[in-house]
Copies of this chain bind each other. A is one copy, B any other.
């Protein structure tokens, strides 16, 4: 009981700060997304492939969350986009407090319209920590097994969009794309699903167009 009450206090404090983040971002007309997945599902590669489609249309800033290293931030910085690294140490997820600290840096950048937050690779805890984002994107790759939505339901039920990534590898695995979609939609019927491959580029334009349109229209949390 004691642990649960500590957890509830932490989550309630987090929700409060997430609310403040959301209010500030909305007041500045900055649309924000929170990208979550297990380690190595391709979040950074998707950001790298999405940036060229978006950067003429909307000014972007990126926050990279990692336990250690700024390898992902370095990859994104090559695209001439402002990037801020948050190194979480032992913490297995970003929280609203982390983002709260970095928002002044976002505001210093000129005319940002889209804030992309790449969370720590973890399919469990990020589902519980609202960062104040407008849209949560869960990425799942075809090498991870099509039963993942049933085994890690929270990360699918919290998400607004599912990117089924690495579709180029699907033929070499037992992954059944239709079954994965069915499983995901069983957990969350409102999920908007895109099939993507960073290697072939399949689906990246469709996903990028959707993101640009949603960000420019300023649709809030679905």
A residues in contact (CB < 8 Å) with B: 3, 6, 10, 38-40, 66-69, 71-72, 90, 92, 120-125, 128, 141, 143-145, 147-148, 150-154, 166, 168-169, 172-173
Closest beta carbon of chain B to A97's beta carbon, Å:
11
Query: Given A123-B122, A124-B90, A145-B40, A71 and B151 touching (CB < 8 A)?
Result: yes
User: Complex Cα distance A166/B166, Å?
Assistant: 15
Q: Identify whether the interface residues of A are mostly helix, strand, loop, or mixed.
A: loop
User: Complex Cα distance A169/B169, Å?
Assistant: 8
Closest beta carbon of chain B to A127's beta carbon, Å:
9
Contact, CB under 8 Å: A154 / B40: no
- Please tell me which one of the listed residues B68, B125, B154, B166 contacts residue A150 in the complex, with CB atoms under 8 A apart: B68
Contact, CB under 8 Å: B71 / A152: no
User: Complex Cα distance A90/B141, Å?
Assistant: 22
User: Complex Cα distance A79/B40, Å?
Assistant: 30
11 A-B residue pairings within 8 Å (CB atoms): A39-B151, A40-B141, A67-B152, A69-B147, A69-B150, A71-B147, A120-B124, A122-B124, A143-B169, A168-B172, A169-B173
